[in-house]
Structure 1
Amino acid sequence: MTLETRAALLLGTAQTLAWATSYYLPAVVAPAVVRDLQAEPALVYGAFSASLLLAGLVAPRVGRAIEQRGGRPVLMLSSLVISLGLALLGLLPGLWGWVAGWLVLGLGMSAGLYEAAFATLGVLFGRGARRPITLVTLLAGFASTIGWPLSTALLPLLGWRGTCLAYAAANLLIALPLYVLLPRAAAAVESAAGPQAAELPPPPQAWVRRSFLLLAVFFTLRSMISGAMGVHLLSLLGGLGLSVGAAVAAAALQGPSQVGGRLLEFTAGRAAHPLVVARLGGLLLPLGALLLVLAGPVAAVPFVLLYGASNGILTISRGAVPLALFGPRGYPVLMGKLALPILVSQALAPTLAAPVVANWPAAHFLGAAGLLALGALGCLMAIRPAPLPSPEAAIQRS
């Protein structure tokens, strides 16, 4: 087993647990919290949104820490912080304890989810990190598939507090040791790049700023769409005329289609430039929305499949495209800066979209989402590869 594959398996397993016990936790646990604490649902779910906002604000600092110290110690710390946040959820009384626990979890998610994992792989393997990034997302793509049924099974046995405490222990006993086993940055870079690895000249700063801005706008707009759809998809499918059962069945296809999109990137897409693959992923959602507008409710299943595959591909692209465009130098800092608007938009989108979903016809909302995704794709299409250095610059470097 290669060093890259070993690191990806360790990270992917730990990421599955981290996502299942943090980001995907409220979907099952929050309704029980609302009933137990007799709290307003908006306040209970608002604590989760606040944690995402905090995660976004802290993300640039996390990127700088990974750049300076490597990803291994940052990820190890993240498992400790996630465990602490879950323990606070299980032990502290009242709504204030729930909010405090989620604020701590926000810090842990910032240091322990995809952006931190991608940055770690970039530090370890440089431009060779694309395949490990894909493997990590393939494994962690099953976080909700594993986490939601497990939480549903634990709730009657342990209650929501006991479930949170069990997950705190799991992060300490499973995720933390997996992070300890990750290779150290110095050894990994030497084995992956080799002592004679050539260093490419840095691209022009004006091109870097323009390309990063376009990339940030693209992923922020797409995260706004996925943040809104993640909460309101069932309501929107019902608004198209589907029964409750049909809407649930159609929405359930999103998870498998996300994994399918990642498998497509892992197999057929590996020979293409990551930017080309990202453009394909960005195109799938507008195509699905167009089908829905033209064909009506009968196209609900194809829409969900295309939307899920689009999300699956773009999850990989979030790590692979910046690495391919800008290189490994400064990659962790770049990922931290990119995570800030993405996490903030994910936190705000469900609340901002709620009145629109309530007052617009579902087909109009989904059509508007398709147009927004098409506008985002325009940003991606405007990105060009880095200009080659001039002969004079090459002579000066030599």
Structure 2
Amino acid sequence: MSGDLADASGGRLDQSPANPSAAAPRARSRLVIPALGLTQIIGYGTLYYSFSILAPAMARDFGWPTEWIFGALSGALLIGGLAAPWAGRWMDRYGAARIMTVGSLAAAAALIACALAPVGIAFVPALIAIEIASTLVQYGAAFALLVQQQSHTAQRSIVHLTLIAGFASTIFWPITTALHNALSWQQVYFVFAAMNLFICLPIHAWLSRLDRPPNETGNADGTTQSTVVDGSLPAAARRRGFILMAIGFALQSFVGSAILVHMLPLLGALGLGVAGVMVGTLFGPAQVASRFINMMFGKNLSQIRLAMISATLLPASAALLLLTAPSVPGALAFAVLFGMGNGLYSIVSGVLPLALFGSEGYGARQGQLMSVRLIVSSAAPFAFALLMENIGVSWALTITAVLGSGALLAFMGIARLSSEPHAG
């Protein structure tokens, strides 16, 4: 499918020299991915990755146990997931870039509200506001923007975007740590609010001027309106295909969230506490490496096959850790496989819905899928902790690997639907 999209895009670009006035819009369109990548790094860095570093100070100031702070985060993620379908429909109706502009303003306001919260009970609704704002500015919204502005090159653009945004944790963990060494967590959140307000907001506002909502015709700067992309899944199979895709993504979210949150205690329980730092240093680069490899060599790989590879790597990494513990080389291999699986999953969550169902209604579908992923992600750490406490770490990891394997079966089911001659 991606090859067809690239060819279609190429056809459009070949016609452009006949229209010199289109050169400036094309030059601006080349800045879309770097600009959007910057806002994704800031969005994930300020609204997500910084939380684990600042949480102990938050708990101390509010007089709460640290687990209460993370419990509040889980509840906020759940509510953010419930709000995601509405966000997706707004993106289809008004344009994703406009929704991201509003989201940047909401993110800044929510961060300020968190910083100003005098007690924990006032902090919780502000944290919920952060998670709702996150659904308006992070991957789901960014993918919808790329589909609306560049539908015939969106699959490739999503890969490039995730490659850039994959550095969010690498950049913001040390930034947050350095800021927190000099500032209180409240002051750090003020700095992060300023980043969303004075960097992300202007970029998203600029991006909103490059397109119009899907229900309007023409573009403000004279660029050609994006052509609708048809999905590869036959119409009669789309309902079943969407359910299978949602199940696959939900199971991958469970594995990824459960293991990532409990990475250090999990390694310690398996006798690998000394490997924790090394595993942590490999995880991020492995995510980026998988996206780079896919960008360079995955052009002829169908999106459903990419989904299958991603769904294979996550449970395989859990199984490898279980079978090799307490081997340090085994733990390092686990980190690479787990990081690569997560890296590819970020791509798949954006490109597979487009490949299967097309660009019409993409924002609403992303909102529904984002809701499933966020709800499962919010519950997974708690469920995994219960499993470890009641049946032991080995059985908890085994169950997680089995659940992850279910994602592979779901994507294999989609591939079968695609090949059924009677499905259309």
- TM superposition score normalised by structure 2: 0.86
Q: Distance in 2 between matches of 1:370 and 1:188?
A: 49
Alpha-carbon offset, residue 339 of structure 1: 0.8
Taking the aligned partners of 1:192 and 1:79, their CA distance within structure 2 comes to: 27
Structure 2 counterpart of 1:396: none
Question: Does structure 1 conserve the Cα–Cα contact (< 8 Å) formed by 2:180 and 2:188?
Answer: yes
Segments of structure 1 that go 5 or more residues without pairing to the other structure are 394-398
SS at match of 1:267: helix
1:6-27 deviation line (CA, Å, top 9, x unaligned): 2111111001001111111211
Spell out, residue by residue over 1:48-100, the C-alpha distance to the aligned partner (whole angstroms, 9 max, x if none).
11221121111111111111111111000110010011001111201022212
> Which residue is 1:339 aligned to?
370
Question: 1:284 aligned to 307, 313, 316, which one?
Answer: 313
Match of 2:196 in 1: 171
Query: Which residue in the other structure is 2:6 paired with?
Result: none
- Contact 1:34–1:41 (CA under 8 A) maintained in structure 2: yes
Corresponding residue SS for 1:181: helix
Please, which of 290, 298, 302 is the counterpart of residue 269 of structure 1?
298
Give the corresponding residue for 1:251. 280
Q: Is the 8 A contact 1:56 1:343 kept in 2?
A: yes
Q: How does 1:172-251 map to 2 (within 5 A)?
A: 172-182=197-207, 183-185=210-212, 186-187=218-219, 191=223, 200=230, 204-243=234-273, 245-251=274-280
Q: Partner residue of 2:381?
A: 350
- Change beyond 3 A, Cα 1:146–1:188: farther
Return the alpha-carbon distance in structure 2 between the equivalents of residues 36 and 322 of structure 1: 43
Q: Cα RMSD (Å) of the superposition?
A: 2.4
Given that 2:96 and 2:145 are in contact with CA atoms closer than 8 Å, whether structure 1 keeps it comes out as: yes
CA deviations over 1:258-285 (Å, ceiling 9, x no partner)? 1111112211112211111111111112
Residue of 47, 50, 55 corresponding to 1:25: 50
Match of 1:87 among 112, 119, 123: 112
Is 1:376 matched with 2:407? yes
Query: C-alpha distance in 2, partners of 1:159/1:334?
Result: 40
Q: 1:71 aligns with which of 96, 101, 115?
A: 96
Question: Match for 2:336 among 296, 305, 309?
Answer: 305
1:184 aligns to what SS in structure 2?
coil
Instruction: Name the SS of the counterpart of 1:302 in structure 2.
Output: helix
Q: Match of 1:328?
A: 359
**Aligned residues of 2:58 and 2:69 also touching (Cα < 8 A):** yes
The amino acid that maps onto 2:165 is: A
Structure 2 CA distance, aligned partners of 1:45 and 1:225?
A: 18
Rounded to whole Å, the distance in 2 between the matches of 1:35 and 1:201 is 51
Query: In structure 2, what is the Cα distance between the partners aligned to 1:75 and 1:240?
Result: 43
Task: Please report how far the alpha carbon of residue 199 of structure 1 lies from its aligned counterpart in structure 2 after TM superposition.
Answer: 6.5
Task: Give the superposition deviation at 1:151.
Answer: 1.2
Secondary structure at 1:23's aligned position in 2? helix
- Identical-pair percentage: 34
CA separation of 1:62 and 1:365: change in aligned 2, threshold 3 A? same
Amino acid at match of 2:395: H
**What SS is found at the alignment partner of 1:287?**
helix
Q: Per-residue displacement from partner, 1:36-57 (whole Å, max 9, x unpaired)?
A: 2211223212221122112111
Counterpart-to-counterpart distance in 1, 2:172 and 2:185: 14
Q: Is the alpha carbon distance of 1:355 and 1:387 closer, same or farther for their aligned partners in structure 2, counting shifts above 3 Å?
A: closer
Say whether the 8 Å CA contact 1:242–1:297 is kept in structure 2.
yes
Q: Partner of 2:368: helix, strand, or coil?
A: helix
Task: State how far apart, in whole Å, the 2-side matches of 1:199 and 1:350 are.
Answer: 37
Match of 2:14 in 1: none
What is the Cα deviation at residue 360 of structure 1? 3.7
Contact 1:125 1:188 (C-alpha < 8 Å) held by counterparts: no
Deviation digits for residues 308-330 of structure 1 (CA, Å, limit 9, x no counterpart): 10010010000001101111011
Indicate if the aligned counterparts of 1:124 and 1:189 stay in contact, CA closer than 8 A: no
Paired residues of 1:119 and 1:331 also in contact (CA < 8 A): yes
Paired residue secondary structure (1:329): coil
Q: 1:169 to 1:209 in 2, by over 3 A?
A: same
TM-score with structure 1 setting the length = 0.91
Matched pairs, number: 388
Runs of 4+ in 1 over 6 A off after TM superposition: 387-390
Q: What residue is the counterpart of 1:105 in the other structure?
A: 130
Deviation at 1:359, TM superposition (A): 3.6
Question: Deviation per CA, 1:118-143, whole angstroms, max 9, x where unpaired?
Answer: 11111111242011111211111111
Counterpart in 1 of 2:180?
155
Paired letter, 2:111: L
